[in-house]
Amino acid sequence: MEIIFYHPTFDTQWWIAALEKQLPGARVREWKSGDNEPADYALVWHPPVEMLQGRELKAVFALGAGVDSILSKLREHPEMLPLSIPLFRLEDTGMGLQMQEYAVSQVLHWFRRFDDYQALKQETRWEPLPEFTRDEFTIGIMGAGVLGSKVAESLLAWGFPVRVWSRSHKDWPNVQSFAGESEMGEFLRETRVLINLLPNTAETVGIINHALLNQLQDQSYLLNLARGVHVNEDELLRALENGKVKGAMLDVFSREPLPVESPLWRHPRVAMTPHIAAVTRPQEAIAYIGKTITGLERGEAVTGQVDRARGY
């Protein structure tokens, strides 16, 4: 079995050694420009078109939960990867736990009013504030995939009311489910903390805009853990200024790194991290890839294949 590997920042030699240990008998090589030798599988992140074009592969694995870069290249170069070749993404591989940590820590930060106390500290004011109650702190999660389910599960454990909005209804214990555009307004009306975990598709670009934010409760919060293109940043800033949104925690942005001139850097009620909410954990990723390739070789049913029409 021949596997080609390409990632612009990973320690390639470590990954090759670990993959060959996980898949005894496989030969893994780093793909470099001009390598047109046969391969059975390709493991990639932001791959050059020439790496995949014209290859008769059994499958391609994206080395992350998102496949945006591959799908965007396919729109310009559909010949890069025929529909007959399945594309897989990393389903969880440690990302679920990371998303749980991030979401729970931030929701509790807002719930216990630590942002308000930090603002009072800047004014040297000693002022105990009224507590929030859980029944007024409903969490609304947009996106009901693997990561959305993990985040919902973790917040339920803290006693928060949790609801989810997605393409289709979900039957999750103790979680209200809403689906489609017709139920979006009902989903938003009772939501105090909006957590975005949507996939990046043509339908979701710019979805978090003035019209959507205006349907939330007053003094609501936004936590974006999905993609920067989901948020209209100018309209979010307007909602922060008029008080509709009380605070935002952003891990992803429309341009990354975030340009120094962006007003998000300086806004006192915007917190941010540099796209680190959930990163690929090598050992878990290699175990998933090894298990999936073994299943494909045996003709078994596997999970994680991307529906290219949906974009995830």
90-111: per-residue pLDDT in tens? 988 899 999 999 999 999 999 9
How many beta carbons lie within 10 A of that of residue 157, not counting itself? 10
Q: What is the mean pLDDT of the chain?
A: 97
Query: pLDDT higher for 42 or 64?
Result: 42
The pLDDT value recorded for residue 91 is 87
CA dihedral 10, 15, 17, 22 (to 10 degrees): 170
Residue 275 annotated among the catalytic residues of the structure: yes
Residue 27 annotated among the catalytic residues of the structure: no
pLDDT over 90 (residue 137): yes
The pLDDT value recorded for residue 235 is 98
What percent of the chain has pLDDT above 90? Answer: 96
pLDDT-derived band at 122 (thresholds 50, 70, 90) equals very high
Structure tokens at 9: 């920042």
User: Catalytic pick from 269, 275, 281, 308?
Assistant: 275
The pLDDT value recorded for residue 69 is 87
293 burial via Cβ count (<10 Å: 0-12, 13-18, 19+):
buried
CATH, range 2-92+280-298? 3.40.50.720
SS3 assignment, position 284: helix
**Which position has the token pair 């470590």?**
14
Class of the CATH-defined domain 95-272: alpha beta
CB 74 within 8 A of CB 80: yes
What percent of the chain has pLDDT above 70? Answer: 100
pLDDT over 90 (residue 135): yes
pLDDT digits (tens, 9 = 90+) for 267-294: 999 999 999 999 999 999 999 999 999 9
Do the first three CATH levels of 2-92+280-298 and 95-272 match, i.e. the same topology?
yes
pLDDT digits (tens, 9 = 90+) for 223-259: 999 999 999 999 999 999 999 999 999 999 999 999 9
Overall average pLDDT of the 149-169 stretch = 98
The pLDDT value recorded for residue 211 is 98
CB 280 within 8 A of CB 99: no
pLDDT digits (tens, 9 = 90+) for 203-222: 999 999 999 999 999 999 99
Q: Where are the domains of the chain?
A: 2-92+280-298, 95-272
User: Catalytic pick from 55, 89, 163, 227?
Assistant: 227
pLDDT over 90 (residue 66): no
Distance of CA 22 to the CA centre of its chain: 27
Strands (E), the chain: 2-6, 27-30, 41-44, 59-62, 87-88, 139-142, 162-166, 175-179, 193-196, 220-224, 245-250, 270-272
Overall average pLDDT of the 286-304 stretch = 97
The pLDDT value recorded for residue 117 is 98
The pLDDT value recorded for residue 128 is 98
Query: pLDDT higher for 298 or 311?
Result: 298
